[in-house]
Structure formats: structure tokens, C-alpha cells
Amino acid sequence: MRIVILRLGHRIQRDQRITTHVALTARAMGAEGMLLDSDDSGIEKSLQEAGTSWGGSFYVKRITSWKSEIKKWKDTGGKVIHLTMYGINLPDAIPEITADALMIVVGAEKVPPELYGLADWNVGVGNQPHSEVAALAITLDRLQAASGKDALKTQFLPGGERKIIPHRAGKEVISIIK
């Protein structure tokens, strides 16, 4: 299953840290990349550094029209999930979500009302306000589990310089010689 994140409404001065965390979460939980509705090159740089250290091929692509990106995605057969606290609760939505290509829309500020109509699913991770990073992580974990994968065991060795060796206590990071 291909998964791409569309980060909508990113405000450079206010949302840089949280958008970086959205991207890092997406990367760690198996998404292939993020479309960023902003002209913020700092996010791209942060994710390139993560790729150099930990490997993988996650990308960040700056876009100018979120609507045209959704239209292109749907024209190629992809489906769109909009994460919102107003949507159908995630456990109820998971059985309906069957697609080979998913775009998950994660808003930073109030999203345009028309997004609700463009999405194939408006999904709430609990129907209370909370972090979009948490909502994305839980959604990706549930989607991966439904397709038989364990997103929490994803590793990114190809191209990476470092690897974490899991331990019950303490920490160990090894360097990969290229």
C-alpha cells in the first residue's frame, strides 16, 4: 500500500516543529512522502538529514495547490483520508478503507470546508481535539496492521548511516559503514 501525507495549512512561523514531527512520524510509520502546502524549505532539509542518518527514501515535496494534488491523486485511482475530529471514528472506518494508494490529509489550521467533500473518508481518531501527530501515528499503525504489517517495526537501513539496536534498558546505536 502506498501512503502519502498532504500537510495542509502549514504556517512557517508557527508550525515548523509540528510539521517536522508529522513528517518524521509519517516516515517512521511507513509513508513514502509528504506533500507540503507551503514554501518552507526547512522541513525538506530536516527530512533529508533524517534520511542521511537513518536511511530510507522519504521525500518532502512543496506544492502550490492542494486541490489539484488531491484531484491528480484521485485521477490515478488513489483514495483520500482526511484526519479530523469530526469524522467517523477510526476503528469504524478501517474496514471500509481498501485502497492500494492512500493520501492522508493532515491539517495545520482550520481546513477549507470543501475538503470534507473531496475526501473519500473523513476520519476521527477519537472525537476530541488533540495532536495531529498522534492522530497520524495511530492511523498509520491501524492501516498498516489491517494490511498485515507492523509499522512499529519499520527500519530504514538502505542508505542510512545509523541503526538503533533495541534494548530493554540503555541505548545502542551502531554506525553503518558505507
Residues 24/47, Cβ–Cβ less than 8 Å = yes
Q: Angle 33-103-116 (CA atoms, 0-180°, nearest 5)?
A: 140
Proportion of the chain above pLDDT 70, given as a percent: 96
Burial of 93 (0-12, 13-18, 19+ CB in 10 A): buried
Residues 58/51, Cβ–Cβ less than 8 Å = yes
pLDDT tens-digit readout, 48-105: 888 888 888 889 999 999 999 999 999 999 999 999 999 999 999 999 998 999 999 9
| Domains and their CATH numbers in the chain | 2-175 (3.40.1280.10)
pTM: 0.91
